[in-house]
Amino acid sequence: MSLKSLTLRHPSKVIQGTVQLTGSKSESNRALIIRALSQGTVSVENLSAAADTVIMNNALSLAEKAHETGNTTTIDIGPAGTAMRFLTSYLNLAKGNFILTGTERMQQRPIGILADALQTLGANIEYAENAGFPPLKIEGGMTQQQRNVKIQGHVSSQYLSSLLLIAPSLEEGLVLEIQGELTSRPYVTMTLNMLQEAGVSHKWIAQTIEIAPQKFQPATIYVEPDWSAASYWYAIVALSDKGEVVLPGLKAHSLQGDIAIVDIMTHFGVASSFQEDGLHITKVNKGSDKVLFDFKECPDLAQTIVALAAGIRRNISITGVETLKIKETDRLAALKNEIEKFGATIVADGETYHVHTQNTYVPENVTFETYEDHRMAMAFAPLALVFDQVTINEPDVVEKSYPDFWSHLQQQGFNVEQQANS
């Protein structure tokens, strides 16, 4: 049953309990590619239940069977951006011919930088419709032409990770030169660290990453719970009258860049304590008067913080968010639309965006759109602790990364009223 909307209320405004988060989809999707390339040498534990990971797993199964049919295999990854980027590289090493496609929005998200880099290496990739965008025609079993490739670093770190994941399986390996500033560096570091867990070594000197051709070693990759999902619980605790939540399995030393939420939320009055039973997050005070927040290394946290700041009437400025324009939706435009529903706004000043809250007010109820974007739904849901009633349209989008989100809210005292599509 698909849902048209969810209406949220929280009578007590007190949050206390334990929330078991799903595995990180960022780690899971990398681990699945590594497992596939290792041909069974590497195993994976605690895979994410997120739809994006399910899609990736199914796509890899389709690719594995493709050579048996001899026909062109169409792989539709729907809205799964990570799957699109990682499979664009992986399918060149698979046996078979493929059409890689996705939703209408996915076909508007650029892939040309990655496809060009792969073509330089020797991949046989063509655009099925519009140059630079999916769908892609990919002929597997590529013969490598060269090992050196240059790629822009400021558009999407997933392009780099996609190439690095296949690097040890290339006949000549890979020398990847990053041009310009690197966005979301922690995600590239995550990729290299996970490859290292599977026995793959690398050299990273200045702007160049080199991976020699090498075999994966027997290993088990354990996927840590999702720090992006944790960010919504930080917002919930910050907005509560009194709040403490335990998040089992999260570690102080994480591969995930979104662990940056620990530091960011100290400025919003939430303390973090890593204990034996998990991460404890607690509302302690009003935080600091810090104004400028840079999300270059953790852009997926920006929506959480903007919605939170607007909800507590705190003026902030954000930077490092240019990549948000090419995500599931134009996230900057979507944020502006939704916070304006209660009087806040976002004003652009070059690549810095100012959140103004002096004209905010408290409506009796407010309805937020989700724009086919899971993070819009989860960033705005915590505002049910500020407003008497919050309605989220098309709430099923959370299945992309955190399918248990609404049930977890219920467990922590939120009243959740569902309205199904007729």
Catalytic residues: 300
- Phi, psi for residue 297 in degrees, rounded to 5: -90, -10
- Phi, psi for residue 11 in degrees, rounded to 5: -60, -40
Q: Is 165 exposed, middle or buried (0-12, 13-18, 19+ CB in 10 A)?
A: buried
* Cα 66 to Cα 74: distance, rounded to the nearest angstrom: 9
How crowded is residue 253: how many other Cβ atoms within 10 Å of its Cβ?
A: 7
Q: Which helix (H) or strand (E) segment is 267 a member of?
A: none
* Cα 380 to Cα 235: distance, rounded to the nearest angstrom: 10
Which residues, at least 6 apart from 317, have a Cβ–Cβ distance to it below 8 Å?
291, 292, 293, 352, 353, 354, 355
Tokens 């090498």 correspond to 214
Q: Closest Cα partner for 136 from 166, 171, 106?
A: 106
What is the greatest pairwise CA distance in the chain? 64
Tokens 């739809």 correspond to 51
DSSP state for residue 401 in the 8-state scheme: T
Q: Is 9 exposed, middle or buried (0-12, 13-18, 19+ CB in 10 A)?
A: middle
Describe the chain by its helix, strand, coil percentages, rounded to 5.
40, 25, 35
Token reading at 382: 């915590």
Can you spell out the DSSP letters for 157-194?
HHHHHHHHHHGGGSTT-EEEEEESPPSSHHHHHHHHHH
The span from the first CA to the last CA of the chain, in angstroms, equals 10
* Cα 321 to Cα 303: distance, rounded to the nearest angstrom: 10
Encode burial over 274-311: b for 16+ CB neighbours within 10 A, e otherwise.
Answer: eeeebbebbbeeebeeeeebebbbbbbbbbbbbbbbbb
